[in-house]
A and B are shown apart, each in its own frame.
Chain A
């Protein structure tokens, strides 16, 4: 997670004129994706989250101010073009890196990682509970929808969604009751307000080195590309 943060910060720090530095950072990322044996289709599908940002980026050259240039008969703002390029490059690299981290780490690992980075225990516990019970609540909700559909309920319009809202409400009550039962089960095993740590072995220096190799390289790239150097 540290590696992801450093990588993203480094990419953001690369001056926008330094096309070569972006290209190198991109190939670093590509290298990691290939090393991790992530299928291309998987990565591309997950990149869809970037689309709204890209649309915004593509609009920039049309609405940007200042000096303009003509490309294929379109009058585009040079400032806007640079802006679009910056967003495009940095967003793609950032999203790509996040996908690598999320695809190669399990959720418990990520939560443990947060714990190691001194994220307060309460926050990591809440994150853990959320992951654990989101699945169950979502499952319950979809079973209810199936049960409703089986009795002919197919809401098409907003005014038909009443039962759905009621169902969500009763689901909330049920989740609350489940919370009470979970708490009883925790108390029964001696819970006293503090979630004990377990399985948080120390990370070897070697692992830190391996983990930070790629972001380290990106930092070097960013430094090299700084115009002052």
Chain B
């Protein structure tokens, strides 16, 4: 089997205050796969994400991105390969215009001139936001900002796209636009979400995380159909939602 896009093995992390946020986490995402990471609030999902591109360094264990270990030397390359999209687009979009913000990532990796223009166009085009290139982020709707935030990492041409709660605070129409945008991206994706129908719609495979551990890894239909598992880990489907009927 080819080298996974993302491989985490034996990852543990303890915050300086002694809180054990991750315990012996193992997971892998293969090239071109779309995987959901589910779990209740405080399970350690966001902490895990911050390990994937070396913002946090593990207390023990390893993270490999497309065969590359995270080290001081590889840090920049790892950050280019892992496109991390944060939950609040206002944290991610900080430049005065959308175009400048999308250019920020690739420019940090030394891309300039016409190629940089091309990256901006490509990133915004992939999420249907080309028209916003000269607008200020605070003049966009929340859903538009979220899509621009995705464009800002797509412009780096990452190996894997990692999204933290991409559907939170979106109205149903914006949510639908986001799903279509993600479906159209030919790139490996790891989606952290509470939105279980969203996970079912986009991701054939899911992981469940609770209390700093991966507690289940299976097809999304199987996981959402396992009532005991769902209840134990505080996961809940919408009223009268039957994953078995919708899964096929």
Binding site for B on A (CB under 8 A): 106-108, 111, 128-129, 131-133, 135-136, 178, 181-182, 184-192, 195-199
> How would residues 22 to 55 of chain B score, 1 for a CB under 8 Å from any chain A CB and 0 otherwise?
0000000000000000000000000000100101
A136 to B156, CA, bound (A): 27
Whether B96 contacts A190 by the Cβ 8 Å rule is no
Partner of A199, one of B92, B93, B94, B99: B99
Given A132-B138, A189-B105, decide whether A199 and B97 contact each other with a Cβ distance below 8 A: yes
8 contacts between A and B (CB under 8 A): A108-B100, A128-B94, A135-B138, A178-B91, A181-B88, A190-B80, A191-B104, A196-B104
Whether A188 contacts B55 by the Cβ 8 Å rule is yes
Residues of B within 8 A of A (CB-CB), count: 35
Whether A199 contacts B90 by the Cβ 8 Å rule is no
Nearest 4 CB-CB pairings of A with B:
A196-B107, A190-B108, A189-B105, A108-B96
| Known contacts A106-B136, A188-B153, then 9 further A-B pairs from the complex at CB < 8 Å, ordered by chain A residue | A132-B94, A178-B91, A181-B91, A184-B50, A185-B94, A189-B152, A196-B103, A197-B107, A198-B116
Whether A192 contacts B108 by the Cβ 8 Å rule is yes
Binding site for A on B (CB under 8 A): 50, 53, 55, 76, 79-80, 82, 84, 86, 88, 90-97, 99-100, 103-105, 107-109, 112, 116, 134, 136-138, 152-153, 156
Provide the main secondary structure of the chain B interface.
helix
Measured between beta carbons, the chain A residues less than 8 angstroms from B112 are 196
Measured between beta carbons, the chain B residues less than 8 angstroms from A128 are 94-96
Whether A131 contacts B100 by the Cβ 8 Å rule is no
A192 to B153, CA, bound (A): 16
Measured between beta carbons, the chain B residues less than 8 angstroms from A131 are 96
Whether B138 contacts A199 by the Cβ 8 Å rule is no
Whether B156 contacts A189 by the Cβ 8 Å rule is yes
Measured between beta carbons, the chain B residues less than 8 angstroms from A178 are 90-91
Measured between beta carbons, the chain A residues less than 8 angstroms from B93 are 132
B53 to chain A, nearest CB (A): 5
A189 to B93, CA, bound (A): 11
Measured between beta carbons, the chain A residues less than 8 angstroms from B100 are 108, 198-199
A190 to B81, CA, bound (A): 10
Whether A185 contacts B92 by the Cβ 8 Å rule is yes
Measured between beta carbons, the chain A residues less than 8 angstroms from B95 are 128, 132
A185 to B94, CA, bound (A): 9
B115 to chain A, nearest CB (A): 12
Measured between beta carbons, the chain A residues less than 8 angstroms from B53 are 188
